[in-house]
Structure 1
Amino acid sequence: MSHLKGITGSLSRRLEGRRIVLCITGSVAAMEAPRLARELMRHGADVNVVMSNAACKLIGPDLMEWATGNPVITELTGRLEHVELAGDWEGKADLVLVYPATANTISKIAHGVDDTPVTTVVSTALGSGIPVLVAPAMHHSMYRNPFVAESLRRLSEGGVRVIQPRIEEGKAKVASVDEAVEEVLRELSPRDYGGVRAIVTAGPTVECIDSVRVVTNMSSGMMGIELAKELYRRGAEVKLIYGPGTVQPPSWIETIRVMSAQDMLQAVRSELSSREYSLFIGAAAVSDYAPEETLPGKLSTREVRELTLKLVQTPKILEAVREASSSIRIVAFKAEFGVSRDVLVERARRKLRELGAEMVVANDLAKPGAGFRSETNQAIIVDKTGAVVELPLMPKSELAKAILDHLASLGW
């Protein structure tokens, strides 16, 4: 359909060639389904919709056909639509997502009751080895019902991924559209970082002049967040240590908030001493200098017309990481401004040697579209084998993928 040409693949091609069945059941959260379908399509997916009778009372099938460009299945006929979508044949779907999933549907799936188009499609998918994701939505009292809880446990034990709801206002609200899309991406992405436990630092740090004023930089935190998301999609267990950036980190990635370079150092040391990590990505723009002392209160500009600050170096977090662990793999970043390519590469090589890092991602902030707070970046990777790889200007989400692709190519 012509109205879908500008939508499909507009965010990424990660789901290109993938067929996803979106099953909608009778929760008011069904109103989120059109947006969910469109977001999946923006990553390249072909979305087929199956609706229960209860869902059809809340949103019309015509709306979902408009959203996806595909006919909507509301009943099963002699065409055997459930087999066409989820049977064990070469044209079967790549994934089935039940969003939202009511207590009724969850319990039916868990006990093999196939009396709606949705439950029959899911039952067929499970028998065909198709990944199934379920996003519960109901009142909290229903969610606490021991029989519903038992049904969810049965689903998990049977290989169904349950996307946990948000407990708010007495309700188990369906997971956000963004989280549901992220779980689909995780399920269908390569698992080349499965079993990896990683720390990613991101964002700027702020160093206080007084109780109000600070010294900082313009880092948004986007690059580090995109790396954390990409690691999560590819199977890693990720801890994000995040300074006060302008980009909101996703709720499904465990995040430690920090302010200063010293705060970030303490958080990193605490994590490294409490658990064993195999990968550290230092994408934070840590302040190199901080005021020697923080003045109490707020300086009055009437009383203090001139202010001279004595700045001292902040601790080197990457050096502390290497001191804490000789085996952890380090990916470092090196930002410069207005230098030649040769100088940029040489400084990256020096950092690589000093840290014993796997690779250094170097970039020139003076390049158009590559500065702080931009949604794009370009970089040069210098790795431990001596290779120098130039990555052209691209969205930071794609750059994160390219960085982790290169790291994976170095072997574990």
Structure 2
Amino acid sequence: MLQQKKILVGITGSIAAYKSISLVRLLIKAGAEVRVVMTPAAREFASPLTLATLSKHPVLAGLAEGDNWTNHVELGRWADIMIMAPLSCNTMAKMAHGLCDNLLLAVYLSATCPVLVAPAMDEDMWHHPSTRHNLDRLRSYGHEVIPVGTGELASGLFGEGRMAEPEEIVAYLQHYFNRNKELSGRKALVTAGPTYEPIDPVRFIGNHSSGKMGIAIAEELLRRGAEVTLVLGPVNQSVPAGINTIRVQTAQQMFEACDSHFNETDIAVMAAAVADYTPVTPAKEKIKKGADEQLDLHLRRTTDILKSLGERKRKGQVLVGFALETKDARNYALGKLTSKNADLIVMNTLADEGAGFGTDTNKVTFFTAGGEEITFALKQKTEVAGDITDQITKLLYA
């Protein structure tokens, strides 16, 4: 359960705040120690007295209570986890942009613990581009978003935007704390991004990979307790603290980094888009435009990193590969599963809108060595990373 977990509940100005009363009660019943911080507007929707009685602690809403200053830094360091439930559209925007005009936001910005959010708003607000942008920013900070529900809304409309039910949030928290222990003591190796194969000092052969998928997987593995090494190609994405990052440029450099770390890893996820070919002899100086209409490049195959690791994989290791295809995706993915001796192939195709390079979303199908084929709907890459890590954990402990 949640025995002795320190949970900080932030409540914002939303009609869904009435659910927070049940949430606090359920958290206390599950054995957690709960503190509540509210925005001034939230007090119009849920009684501080009721919440204080249930949590057995004063409910805080102002930077000063009577003659005493509220130590927001202490609150942010006290908790094992902070959950914003409900998270209104207004407070979401402030969190995304670092604004701090009330105690709850001061606590949030001071928090050193993980943060979960349970949004609540009307359907049109939920689907507005600015809301999607703010959610993506919160996810980029490492926060997890508990999915909203579909049903009758305060406006009288029917659609998405309902805050998750208190029972669902408690179950999510229980799963969160359990999964954080799943990969404790395990070592993981992840590749991400493209490789750049030099033609001359200023030109290269590369691809459009952003590295977002691989970085999301590395972050999820870290969150679940693994010690993670990320071999990262040339991208501009930031990497969360706690991940051992090795930055490389070429396919050969990526292979050498993977080769040197693979023996000591339990999990290897080859998510990078590695170039299949590289120039035989890169020019030492910039190639100048000549009279010829054509320029011939002589290319050679790069080392197949996934196949190389598959050939030396030992019992107990889990090896994951990716297959991004433009046609006949299923057959290519199944062929790769066998030829590379992988335990799991994650397939996606550029034919699916919202999947592939540069996007924040992905639509994947899993193929396992045990014969499973599992297709998922279009999701945020952070959510896909969770699905992949779930499958890795299942394979690791099978």
Answer whether TM exceeds 0.5 for this pair.
yes
- Which residue is 1:212 aligned to? 202
- Partner of residue 288 from structure 2, selected from 296, 300, 314: 300
Q: Secondary structure at the match of 1:250?
A: coil
The answer to whether the 8 A contact 1:291-1:311 is kept is yes
Q: What is the Cα deviation at residue 402 of structure 1?
A: 1.6
Tell me the amino acid that sits aligned with residue 404 of structure 1. Answer: T
The answer to whether the 8 A contact 2:8-2:81 is kept is no
- Which residue is 1:287 aligned to? 275
Counting only pairs closer than 5 Å after superposition, residues 156-175 of structure 1 correspond to structure 2 as none
- Which residue is 1:171 aligned to? none
The answer to whether the 8 A contact 1:21-1:85 is kept is no
- Partner of residue 361 from structure 2, selected from 376, 385, 388: 376
Answer yes or no: is 1:364 the counterpart of 2:313.
Answer: no
The answer to whether the 8 A contact 2:7-2:80 is kept is no
Alignment root-mean-square deviation, CA: 4.5
Q: 1:65 to 1:190 in 2, by over 3 A?
A: farther
Mapped to 1, the partners of 2:365 and 2:190 lie a distance apart of: 19
- Which residue is 2:219 aligned to? 229
- Partner of residue 371 from structure 2, selected from 376, 383, 386: 386
Q: What is the Cα deviation at residue 181 of structure 1?
A: 4.2
Mapped to 2, the partners of 1:70 and 1:118 lie a distance apart of: 25
Deviations 1:147-166 (A, max 9, x none): xxxxxxxxxxxxxx977xxx
The answer to whether the 8 A contact 1:318-1:355 is kept is yes
Mapped to 2, the partners of 1:323 and 1:116 lie a distance apart of: 63
Structure 2: state its 5+ residue gaps.
1-5, 25-33, 60-67, 83-110, 114-136, 145-172
- Which residue is 1:155 aligned to? none
Mapped to 1, the partners of 2:305 and 2:43 lie a distance apart of: 48
Q: What is the Cα deviation at residue 364 of structure 1?
A: 1.5
Answer yes or no: is 1:238 the counterpart of 2:228.
Answer: yes
Q: 1:132 to 1:230 in 2, by over 3 A?
A: closer
Q: Secondary structure at the match of 1:321?
A: helix
Tell me the amino acid that sits aligned with residue 232 of structure 1. Answer: L
Mapped to 1, the partners of 2:234 and 2:43 lie a distance apart of: 38
- Which residue is 2:179 aligned to? 190
Q: 1:396 to 1:80 in 2, by over 3 A?
A: closer
Q: 1:288 to 1:278 in 2, by over 3 A?
A: same
- Which residue is 1:131 aligned to? 80
Mapped to 2, the partners of 1:312 and 1:262 lie a distance apart of: 12
Q: What is the Cα deviation at residue 180 of structure 1?
A: 7.4
Mapped to 1, the partners of 2:47 and 2:198 lie a distance apart of: 58
Tell me the amino acid that sits aligned with residue 271 of structure 1. Answer: H
- Which residue is 2:119 aligned to? none
The answer to whether the 8 A contact 1:240-1:256 is kept is yes
Counting only pairs closer than 5 Å after superposition, residues 76-115 of structure 1 correspond to structure 2 as 84-85=54-55
Number of residue pairs aligned between Structure 1 and Structure 2: 289
Tell me the amino acid that sits aligned with residue 304 of structure 2. Answer: K
Q: 1:338 to 1:348 in 2, by over 3 A?
A: closer
TM-score (structure 1 length as normaliser): 0.58
Q: What is the Cα deviation at residue 349 of structure 1?
A: 2.2
- Which residue is 2:40 aligned to? 65
Tell me the amino acid that sits aligned with residue 333 of structure 1. Answer: F
Q: 1:68 to 1:235 in 2, by over 3 A?
A: farther
Tell me the amino acid that sits aligned with residue 206 of structure 1. Answer: Y
The answer to whether the 8 A contact 1:65-1:71 is kept is no
The answer to whether the 8 A contact 1:338-1:367 is kept is no
The answer to whether the 8 A contact 2:214-2:271 is kept is yes
Mapped to 2, the partners of 1:66 and 1:265 lie a distance apart of: 55
Mapped to 1, the partners of 2:379 and 2:324 lie a distance apart of: 17
Q: What is the Cα deviation at residue 324 of structure 1?
A: 4.2
Counting only pairs closer than 5 Å after superposition, residues 288-367 of structure 1 correspond to structure 2 as 288-302=276-290, 306-327=294-315, 328-339=317-328, 344-367=329-352
Mapped to 2, the partners of 1:411 and 1:296 lie a distance apart of: 46
4+ residue runs of structure 1 moved beyond 6 angstroms?
Answer: 46-51, 67-73, 79-83
- Which residue is 1:255 aligned to? 245
Tell me the amino acid that sits aligned with residue 259 of structure 1. Answer: Q
Mapped to 2, the partners of 1:69 and 1:180 lie a distance apart of: 30
Tell me the amino acid that sits aligned with residue 365 of structure 1. Answer: L
Q: What is the Cα deviation at residue 362 of structure 1?
A: 1.2
Q: What is the Cα deviation at residue 244 of structure 1?
A: 1.2
Q: What is the Cα deviation at residue 71 of structure 1?
A: 8.2
Q: What is the Cα deviation at residue 297 of structure 1?
A: 1.6
Moved more, 397-406 or 242-251: 242-251
Q: Secondary structure at the match of 1:290?
A: strand
Q: What is the Cα deviation at residue 190 of structure 1?
A: 1.8
Q: What is the Cα deviation at residue 294 of structure 1?
A: 0.5
Q: What is the Cα deviation at residue 320 of structure 1?
A: 2.2
The answer to whether the 8 A contact 2:306-2:340 is kept is yes
The answer to whether the 8 A contact 1:49-1:72 is kept is no
Mapped to 1, the partners of 2:44 and 2:290 lie a distance apart of: 65
Deviations 1:47-103 (A, max 9, x none): 99878xxxxxxxxx9xx4359988899xxxxx698785477xxxx99xxxxxxxxxx
TM-score (structure 2 length as normaliser): 0.60
Q: 1:387 to 1:72 in 2, by over 3 A?
A: same
Mapped to 2, the partners of 1:301 and 1:71 lie a distance apart of: 72
